[in-house]
Amino acid sequence: MAEDICFASCRRMDSEQAKTPIGALSSSSSSTQNTNSLSLPTHSSPHHFESTILSFLLFPDSPLFSNSSVFDRVLHDFLSTSSGDDDSAHDQLIHRTLQRVSLLLESTKRCFRKRLTLYNSISWFLPQDLTVKVFSMLDTKSLMQVAACCTMFSKSAMDPLCYSHVDLTTASTYLDDGVLRTMIHRAGNKLRSLKLGNDAYNYFHTFPISSCLAPLSSSDPEFTWNLLTSLHIYNLISMDMNSICSVLSACPNLSDLKIAELSYDSSNLVLDLLTRKCHLVEHLFLETSFGGDNITYSTIEAFVANCPKLTCLTLKGFNLDDAMAQILVKGLLKLKYVNLSSTSGIHGSFLRDLGNTCKDSPLEILILRDCSLEEREVLEFLNSLIAGDFRFIRHIDVSSGNGLACDGDERTLELNFPVEKLKEERSNFKLVAEFPLSLQSWSPSPFHESIDYDYYGCCWGGSRPKSKKLRFFGI
């Protein structure tokens, strides 16, 4: 594919071998080749050589060209008569043949690109500056496809403005230090947003390693990352926290940060670094799949005090409790979206406390999926909504594979929520409460897998589950 070629061309690879003269390989094997009628004369002139190639190209179309067995037979006879039973000579002849075919193919491609360039230069009506502006609106994959079309497009696609927003999440097969470094150097100080890794987690996929972050933390004085405002990092192999910390330290003006699959012992470290370095962050998504380390209250309080611009916050799998959740929701005065899913330490008591003090909170969406919520706490919170608290809230998710806690260690799957009353008081309100039909029948929900709560404050990509093993309560 075209974009594959362009991503591969970003690597700093030595291409000298591809430029080896045609006769270089044959000279090393001349002593082993037998002189015969199929060998070219050693005194062949360049004109004779060019005439031979031209004769081949001018050969009229024939059914023989579509019959691979003809080529097989000719090559077999050529090898047999040229070098007898010498296997090494056979290998050298085959290698030389492949090289010459490759040279012809590459030459044909170059000629084709020149023709396209000529055609595009005549038919393309946009001036250079406007062409660059159009190309800058393309995603990275499409930009690579455009750059591979012709020389004219390739030159326009090299402009730094075209690399102000780099998305390498669909090119992780080709992503390494060299590719990322080339992209960053092309962008220069125009780089505004960067996405790398694989945003669709797949155990059978090969992810890039965290060392590909090294170019971002480079001390090269030619590049500063003060203008980088958005950074998304997905599922990097062997997530190196030193690399993450170096990157965050070098990008103080980040307003949008997303890191998926943090290592289990890095929660405190990342929050502390954000507290000290990234005071402008507005959208924050941090996720750990294996449970984070124990976060301290002082870390949470310092984080709230130094990141006042946060409007969308996701901390999935963190070791938080109700008191910490209350500090976050109550202290971050601009929060519109909160996702604290997969937090076993949250039982819901912070909801009751918030209901008494946050009547005018701007919070719109609250996701508490797979927490340890208690039924009475959720019920009291819903009643406070009916009473007028959290006037702007419009979406709550309290789904759980274990139901809700009630009466000590008991779990309940039969909920008595004031759904009808909520409908009357808040027509635009949506409650999501998805539970298994029984605790024994629980399996991963297709609803849970298909829906994605974007941390910009919107819900997309899902529908009500149709599995027979799921019970859904909602309005």
The domain limits of the chain are 338-475
Output the pLDDT for position 150. Answer: 80
b/e string for 170-187 if b means 16 or more Cβ within 10 A? ebbebbbbbbbbbbbbbb
* Whole-angstrom distance, CA of residue 273 vs CA of residue 247: 11
- Structure confidence at residue 132 (pLDDT): 92
The arrangement of strands across the sheet holding 395-397 comes to 165-168, 193-197, 230-234, 256-260, 283-287, 312-316, 337-339, 365-367, 395-397, 430-436, 470-474
Q: Are residues 39 and 82 in contact, defined by beta-carbon separation less than 8 angstroms?
A: yes
237-265 exposure pattern, b = at least 16 Cβ within 10 A, e = fewer: eebbeebbbbbbebbeebbbbbbbbbbee
Looking at residue 151, its pLDDT comes to 81
Q: What is the pTM of this model?
A: 0.70
Within 8 A by CB and 6+ apart from 302, the residues are 272, 275
pLDDT at 203 over 60: no
Contact 237, 211 (CB under 8 A): no
Q: What is the Cα–Cα distance from 208 to 229, expressed in whole angstroms?
A: 22
Bigger pLDDT: 341 vs 452: 341
pLDDT (average), residues 98-123: 86
The pLDDT confidence band at residue 233, using thresholds 50, 70 and 90, is confident
pLDDT reading at 28 higher than 80: no
pLDDT exceeds 70 at position 19: no
Give pLDDT, residue 324: 95
Burial string for 126-139 (b: 16+ CB within 10 Å, else e) reads: eeeeebbeebbebe
What percent of the chain has pLDDT above 70?
A: 72
The mean per-residue pLDDT over the stretch 110-128 comes to 83
Q: Which range has the top average pLDDT, 101-110, 263-272, 286-295, 382-391?
A: 101-110
Q: What's the pLDDT score for residue 192? A: 92
Q: What is the mean pLDDT of residues 435-444?
A: 57
The residue to which tokens 């409460």 are assigned: 433
pLDDT at 239 (0 to 100): 62
Segment 117-139 shows an average pLDDT of: 87
| 162-182: average pLDDT | 77
Q: Is the pLDDT of residue 212 over 90?
A: no
274/282 Cα distance (integer angstroms) = 11
pLDDT digits (tens, 9 = 90+) for 155-168: 899 999 999 999 88
Over residues 220-227, the mean pLDDT reads: 70
Measured between its terminal Cα atoms, the distance across the chain in Å is: 47
Percentage above 90 pLDDT, the chain: 23
| pLDDT value at residue 331 | 93
Q: What confidence tens digit (pLDDT) does each residue in 322-361 have?
A: 999 999 999 999 999 999 999 989 999 898 877 666 777 8
Residue 1: how many CB atoms within 10 A of its CB?
Answer: 10
pLDDT at residue 339, rounded to an integer = 97
Mean of pLDDT over the chain: 76
pLDDT reading at 470 higher than 50? no
What is the Cα–Cα distance from 146 to 143, expressed in whole angstroms? 5
Nearest CA among 403, 399, 396, 466 for reference residue 440 = 403
Task: Tell me if residue 290 falls in helix, strand or coil.
Answer: coil
pLDDT tens by residue, 29-47 = 443 444 344 454 555 678 8
d(CA 300, CA 230): 23
Q: Say if residue 321's pLDDT is above 90.
A: yes
Tell the residue number behind the tokens 């660059």, with chain if given.
132
pLDDT of residue 257: 95
pLDDT of 188 above 70: yes
Q: In this predicted structure, what is the pLDDT of residue 119?
A: 82
SS3 63: helix
For range 450-459, the mean pLDDT: 35
Query: Under a CB-based contact definition with an 8 Å cutoff, are residues 194 and 231 in contact?
Result: yes
3-state SS track over 393-443: CCEEECCCCCCEEECCCEEECCCCCCHHHHHHHCCCCEEEEEEECCHHHCC
3 state SS of 212: helix
Q: How far apart are CA 475 and CA 425, in angstroms?
A: 12
pLDDT at 255: 96
How do residues 236-275 score in pLDDT, each as one tens digit? 766 667 778 888 888 889 999 999 878 777 888 889 999 9
State yes or no: pLDDT of 204 exceeds 50.
no
Token reading at 82: 């040229």
Confidence band for 4, pLDDT divided at 50, 70 and 90: low
